[in-house]
Amino acid sequence: MHSTLPLHYSYHLIKIFLVAIVFVAPKMNIFGLSVAQESFTNSTCVDIEREALLSFKQGLRDPSGRLSFWTGTNCCQWSGIKCNMLGNVIKVDLRSRSPSATYRSSCLGGEVNSSLLNLKHLSYLDLSLNCFEGLRIPEFFGELKNLRYLNLSSSSFSGEIPPHLGNLSSLHYLDLEMKDDDTTTITFRLLSSNLTWLSGLISIKYLNMGNTNLGGQGPELFRSVNMLPVLEELHLHSCDLYYLPRSLSTVNMTLLSVLDLSDNQIQSSIPNWISNLTSLTELDLSNDYFNLNGNIPRECEDKASKEDLDPQLYYGIAGWIPESLGSLCGLKVLNLTGNLMTGEIDGFLDKFTTVCPNNSLVALGLGGNQFSGELPSSLGKLKYLKQLHIGQNCFWGSIPRTIGNLLFLQELDVSLNEMNGTIPKSLGKLSRVTDLKLENNHWQGVITEDHLMNLEKLQYLSLSTDRARPLVFNVTPQWNPPFRLLSLELYNCIVGPKLPEWIRVQSKLNVVILQNAGIEDTVPEDWFFNISSQVTLLDLSYNMIMGKLPLKLKFPELGTIDLRNNRFEGPVPLCFTNATYMFLQQNLFSGPIPNDISELTELRILDVSKNYLTGMIPSAVCEMASLDILSLRENQFHGQLPQCWNDLQRITVLDIASNNLSGEIPSSLGLLQVLRILSLSNNSLSGQIPSSFQNCTDLKILDLGNNKLSGNLPLWIGNDSTQFWILGLKSNKLNGTIPRQWCNLSDLHILDLAENSLSGSIPSCLGDLSSLIYSKTDLNNKYSVEDSYYFQEQMLMVTKGRVMEFSKTLKFVNIINLSSNILTGEIPHGITNLTALGTLNISGNYLTGNIPNEIGNMRWLETLDFSINKLSGPIPQSLSLLESLSYFNVSYNNLVGRIPQGNQLQTLTDVSIYEGNPSLCGKPLLSKCPGSDIGSDVPISQSPDYDSETELENLLFYCCGFVFGISGVWCTLWKKDTWREAYFSFFNLA
Ligand SMILES: *[C@@H]1O[C@H](CO)[C@@H](O)[C@H](O)[C@H]1NC(C)=O
Ligand SMILES: *[C@@H]1O[C@H](CO)[C@@H](O)[C@H](O)[C@H]1NC(C)=O
């Protein structure tokens, strides 16, 4: 149900809009009309032609009996048939009229009988919207010499288009587009492997081969098409063209008005010859960047990495908009959406508005590219513009004041840019605007009534800016705006402290997002009543809204509710009866979980973490059978966990950490087949780790730390069927040895066994933990798999802007922590094989022997703690090779000799990290080594401490990429959450 997510929703709208502009109203009538006009219903049918029609009918499958009325002698009166004065059939129109859900059962299928050849005067043949289920287009169509109109679109023909069609020299109109419609499950595609036949269609005005597989023959195609002297419309949507010819010797297509090359993954830049198509009114070179390309990362600052975009993943037209396009004065629609175009747009726009002062451009789609620069004020000269879509680029600066001249503007999308200036008041003149998308920029200034004054038609408003510098709405408290919105999405826009009147009067809202809006009010109950019956998404997160939710209210349509980080109080609300996602974390909700919660049967995510909920966890929780993610973390639940977990068969994440739970871990948790993350840490759970967990073969993260668990470390954890990435068992009462079987955990990245009573030696086979061994090829493979998921998910995450930067900081977090146990023996040399390890902590044990000389191989080490052991011998000089080392401690051992110098070690000047080793000498200690001692004591500031925030983010992203490979949506929400929280706490500090 991710269609309830705001951005997806909006982008869907854009897509529909652009598609609508370009495809609606193909000028079918213009091309076909002449035929219809000369028909005579009163004429009498020629016998041989009636027979031909009956044979034709016989070949057809006609489940709904549409042709059952083809009876009687005068075929000129049969439905779909038209004759000329002499009784010759001139028109056969069997287009299926109702492309609805039921049309699959009423469409014609079967065979196309060659008896049609007996219709010697046939000039119009329409078999569109039928279902021939993969039938080849008959070759004999090429012999219907009088044909002027042929429409086979969306009737599931497939295979090679017979080149015989090239004999139809009278044809004006040819439509072969096989559209994917929702009712077709199998996609039938036509194909043409040699396009020479096209040049025979010398009378063609309208040609549509949409969805035909042309296998990269872009150049060949245009060489043939260039022979068609009267062509007016060329529709080649989704034809796998890939390339356009760089040049055409002479451009013949001077009548061409519509050129639709959308979704062809074209990789050439825009060739100059396009500027010679002097009759062009519509040029569509867009790609559906939401569905096809995934999400092309915007590379606004980092110019170098632009070339790094993997051509397998990201394709599209590169380069600038040629200025010469600006001489196409007839242009009404220019759609370049979803490409890789760069540079500024003012060259083109200045030329267009200068050369064509009377232009009538109605739609300009430049979204989803890498365009940059300030928006030129010449935009204001596109007087008839209705749609301006320039979202998801790298534009900066302010919206030019001249925007107020676009009095016909209906849709303005500047979202997802780097706009760091102001929104002009002239925006308030745009009385026809219905959609304003301004979110994900760095806006400055204030929004006043003037900005919104005359926007009588406004239905969709979205606006956001940086959290650190919110936009302030400065409007008079009683202002009643002229619009009634369907969707209001404000992030980091201060409208509070009270919910203002201008929002309270919005009674038609379906989507409400007032995130971090500075509202410090009690629940605005009247407004809730106004919107409750139709609202589908309600996000009031990151405010200080107080009080209880109106419990009497029902929100029957509400799918997503996000109230996190507020001061809502009272019991867990149950008024969102059909909700799919409920985010209630970080509020003041209290009391026990009501038993009625079991009625929330649609719920997939419930997060009530960080509240004040009490009591036992009721078994009613297990009746929410759709649950995918349940977080009850950081509340005050006590007592035993219920036993009923096996009812939650869809659950992937269960987090009940940081409560006061006691008793044993229920073995029924082991029946959750798709469980991936289980956290029960920070409770008082006792007993052993249930062996039933070995059935959770998807379990990747198990965190049971800070409990009272006892017994040995289970051997089954090392079974081949497990896939643990993270094992958190610290601070329990576990004893025995670390099983050698665990060395098989080939996906393990974090092993935390600290603060237990583990004894024996560290198995040297730990050095075989393969995911902790740096190998460039592995890493690259994992990255690329992950990236593709990641970028798709970002599309849903972009509500907050700076998300892209996260993908770059993504790296593995690799930790082994065995500290504070009673381990003995030597540090196994094998452990130095773990070249990808970031943290190694074995402090507080009874380890003896030397620090392995090969320690310098572990070059990703950031944290190394050997303190409080019985290690002896020197500190190996190879330590100085650890360039990332930022925390190092060997205190309280029996180490001897000179402290190694060089590189990162130089920055670790805190003497305490060496103390308790009386025989160590050299800098930074005061005790000089026997022999030389060089250099002065220049104080070097300590390098920053372990950045726990960054690590947390990385960890979560890392987990998401893998754990949620499939259920990406949940991951997205989860990531968004964490990211938001991280960002928010940062802001609080600032
Ligand atoms: C395409 O078809 C034409 C005419 O049938 C033929 O002359 C030409 O060689 C073909 N081209 C290729 C590449 O097969
Ligand atoms: C232009 O069209 C004419 C007639 O259709 C054709 O003979 C000529 O080769 C075409 N020119 C080019 C460059 O294709």
pLDDT at 361 exceeding the cut of 50 = yes
pLDDT in tens, 399-456: 999 999 999 999 999 999 999 999 999 999 999 999 999 999 999 999 999 999 999 9
Torsion sign across C-alpha atoms 238, 244, 250, 255: positive
Ligand nearest to the CA of 220: 1
* Ligand 2 pocket check for 251: Cβ under 6 Å: no
Residue whose entry in the numeric block shows the structure tokens 């619009």: 483
Strand order in the sheet with 471-474: 446-448, 471-474, 493-494
The reply to whether ligand 2 has any atom less than 6 angstroms from the CB of 226 is yes
Residue whose CA is at the smallest distance from ligand 2 atom 7? 227
Nearest Cα residue to atom 12 of ligand 1: 194
Among protein residues, the one whose CA lies closest to atom 10 of ligand 2: 227
- Tokens read off for 346: 């003012």
Nearest CA to ligand 2 atom 4: 227
Whose Cα sits closest to atom 3 in ligand 2?
227
- Of 78-82, 156-160, 524-528, 802-806, give the lowest mean pLDDT range: 802-806
Take atom 6 of ligand 2 and give the residue whose Cα is closest: 227
| Closest residue CA from atom 4 of ligand 1 | 196
- Phi–psi pair at 904, nearest 5 degrees: -60, -30
Tokens, residue 863: 């944290």
Does the model's pTM come out above 0.85?
no
Greater model confidence, 35 or 3: 35
- Looking at residue 804, its pLDDT comes to 25
Which is more confidently placed, 822 or 250?
822
Q: Rounded to an integer, what distance in angstroms lies between the CA atom of residue 244 and that of residue 238?
A: 14
Q: How far is the CA of 318 from the centre of ligand 1 (A)?
A: 31
Count of beta carbons in the 10 Å neighbourhood of residue 385: 25
248/293: higher pLDDT: 248
Going by the DSSP 8-state scheme, the letter that residue 826 receives in this structure is: B
User: Does 985 have pLDDT greater than 70?
Assistant: no
148 CA from centroid of ligand 1 (Å): 25
Q: Which atom of ligand 2 is nearest to the CA of 223?
A: 14
Tokens read off for 27: 């000028």
pLDDT at 700: 87
User: Closest Cα partner for 298 from 389, 464, 421, 415?
Assistant: 415
- Residue 515 predicted with pLDDT over 80: yes
3-state secondary structure 272-307: HHHHHCCCCCEEECCCCCCCCCCCCCCCCCCCHHHH
Range with lowest mean pLDDT among 513-517, 605-609, 811-815 = 811-815
Interacting residues of 898 by C-beta distance below 8 A, sequence separation 6+ = 874, 920, 921, 922, 929
The answer to whether the bond into 138 is cis (omega within 30° of 0) is no
Q: Which residue has the higher pLDDT, 733 or 301?
A: 733
Whether 33 shows a pLDDT value over 70: the answer reads no
**Of 72, 96, 94, nearest to 82 (Cα)?**
94
Q: Which is nearest to 626 in space by CA: 597, 653, 605? A: 605
Asked if residue 12 has pLDDT above 50, the reply is no
Atom of ligand 1 minimally distant from the CA of 195:
1
Distance from the alpha carbon of residue 248 to the mean position of ligand 1, in angstroms: 20
Please tell me the least confidently modeled range out of 250-254, 449-453, 854-858, 964-968: 964-968
Q: Is 255 in the pocket of ligand 2 (CB under 6 A)?
A: no
Residues ≥6 apart with Cβ < 8 Å to 236: 208, 209, 210, 212, 214, 221, 260, 261, 264
Residue 663 DSSP SS3 = strand
Quick one: which atom of ligand 2 is closest to the CA of 250? 13
Q: Using CA positions, which residue lies closest to atom 5 of ligand 1?
A: 196
Mean pLDDT of the chain: 83
Return the pLDDT at 220.
92
Asked if residue 194 has its Cβ within 6 Å of ligand 1, the reply is yes
Strand 81-83 relative to strand 89-93: parallel, antiparallel, unpaired? antiparallel
> What is the Å distance from ligand 2's center to 226 Cα?
6
pLDDT digits (tens, 9 = 90+) for 217-242: 999 999 999 999 999 999 999 999 99
623 has pLDDT over 90: yes
Residue 187's Cα: distance from chain center in Å? 25
Average pLDDT over residues 275-281: 95
CA-wise closest residue to 233 among 207, 202, 212, 272: 207
Asked if residue 788 has pLDDT above 50, the reply is no
Q: Kindly give, in sequence order, each residue whose CB lies less than 8 Å from that of residue 717, ignoring residues fewer than 6 positions away.
A: 694, 724, 727, 739, 741, 742, 745
SS3 of 777, please? Answer: helix
Range of lowest pLDDT (181-190, 319-328, 798-807, 840-849): 798-807
Region 648-672: what's the mean pLDDT?
Answer: 93
Ligand 1 in reach of 196 Cβ (< 6 A): yes
612-613: strand order across its sheet: 546-548, 567-570, 588-591, 612-613
pLDDT tens digits for range 740-750: 999 999 888 88
pLDDT of residue 844: 97
Cβ–ligand 2 distance for 249 under 6 Å, the answer: yes
For residues 264 and 244, is the Cβ–Cβ distance under 8 A? no
d(CA 879, CA 883): 9
* Mutation to probe ligand 2, out of 195, 221, 224, 226 (largest number of atoms < 8 A from CB): 226
Question: Coil, helix or strand for 424?
Answer: coil
Tokens at 443, concatenated: 């806006």
Query: How many angstroms is it from 207 CA to the middle of ligand 1?
Result: 21
71-85, 165-179, 278-292, 700-714: segment of lowest average pLDDT: 278-292
CA of 196 to the centre of ligand 1 (A): 6
CB distance 513 to 488 below 8 Å: yes
Residue 956: pLDDT over 70: no
pLDDT at position 24: 37
